[in-house]
Amino acid sequence: MTAKLLDPVGYRNAMGPWWMAAFTPATDSPELDGNLTRQALSSPVNRNIIRCVNRLDHSHRAKVVAEYVETTEQKSLLEELGCDVFQGWLTARPCRPIRSRPILTAAKDIAMQPSTDQRRHSPAAERNGPFILTELQRLLPATGTLLEIASGTGQHAAFCAAGLPGWQWQPSDYEAAALTCIAAWCAGNGRVLPPIELDVLTPDWFDMTRQFDAIYCANMIHISPWACTLALLRGAARHLTPQGVLITYGPYLVDGLDTAPSNLAFDADLRTRNPAWGLRRLSDIAAQATAVGLHLRERSNLPANNLLLVWERT
Ligand SMILES: C[S@@+](CC[C@H](N)C(=O)[O-])C[C@H]1O[C@@H](n2cnc3c(N)ncnc32)[C@H](O)[C@@H]1O
Determine the pLDDT at residue 57: 84
Q: Cβ neighbours of residue 136 under 8 Å, at least 6 residues apart? A: 160, 163, 164, 216, 247
pTM of the full predicted structure? 0.68
Determine the pLDDT at residue 284: 98
Options 3.40.50.410, 3.40.50.740, 3.40.50.150, 2.40.160.20; CATH for 123-313 is 3.40.50.150
Long-range Cβ pairs for the range 175-179 (8 Å, 24+): 178/151, 178/152, 178/153, 178/154
Going from the Cα of 313 to the center of ligand 1, the distance in angstroms, rounded, reads: 24
For residues 233 and 294, give the distance between their C-alpha atoms in angstroms, rounded to a whole number: 8
Going from the Cα of 89 to the center of ligand 1, the distance in angstroms, rounded, reads: 60
Q: Cβ neighbours of residue 78 under 8 Å, at least 6 residues apart? A: 32, 37, 40, 50, 66, 69, 86
Determine the pLDDT at residue 91: 84
Whether a cis peptide bond, with omega within 30° of 0, leads into 97 is: no
- Is residue 256 within 8 Å of 274, Cβ to Cβ? no
- Is residue 180 within 8 Å of 209, Cβ to Cβ? no
Going from the Cα of 220 to the center of ligand 1, the distance in angstroms, rounded, reads: 5
Determine the pLDDT at residue 106: 67
Q: Which atom of ligand 1 is nearest to the CA of 217?
A: 6
Determine the pLDDT at residue 165: 97
Going from the Cα of 245 to the center of ligand 1, the distance in angstroms, rounded, reads: 19
- Is residue 193 within 8 Å of 158, Cβ to Cβ? no
Ranges of each domain in the chain: 2-109, 123-313
Q: Cβ neighbours of residue 115 under 8 Å, at least 6 residues apart? A: none
Phi, psi angle pair for 193, to nearest 5°:
-75, 160
Which SS3 state, helix, strand or coil, does residue 298 take? strand
What's the sign of the alpha-carbon dihedral 237, 243, 249, 252?
Answer: positive
Going from the Cα of 123 to the center of ligand 1, the distance in angstroms, rounded, reads: 15
Residues present in the chain in total: 314
Determine the pLDDT at residue 103: 65
For residues 146 and 144, give the distance between their C-alpha atoms in angstroms, rounded to a whole number: 7
Determine the pLDDT at residue 252: 98
For residues 5 and 71, give the distance between their C-alpha atoms in angstroms, rounded to a whole number: 38
Mean pLDDT by 10 residues, the chain (314 residues): 60 61 63 88 91 85 88 91 90 71 65 72 96 98 98 98 98 96 96 98 92 98 98 98 98 96 96 97 98 98 97 98
Q: Cβ neighbours of residue 285 under 8 Å, at least 6 residues apart? A: 221, 229, 233, 252
Write out residues with Cβ below 6 Å of ligand 1: 122, 125, 149-152, 156, 173-175, 178, 199-201, 218-220, 223-224, 228
In this structure, which residue's CA is closest to atom 1 in ligand 1? 219
Determine the pLDDT at residue 155: 98
Which CATH superfamily includes the segment(s) 2-109? EAL domain (3.20.20.450)
For residues 57 and 43, give the distance between their C-alpha atoms in angstroms, rounded to a whole number: 21
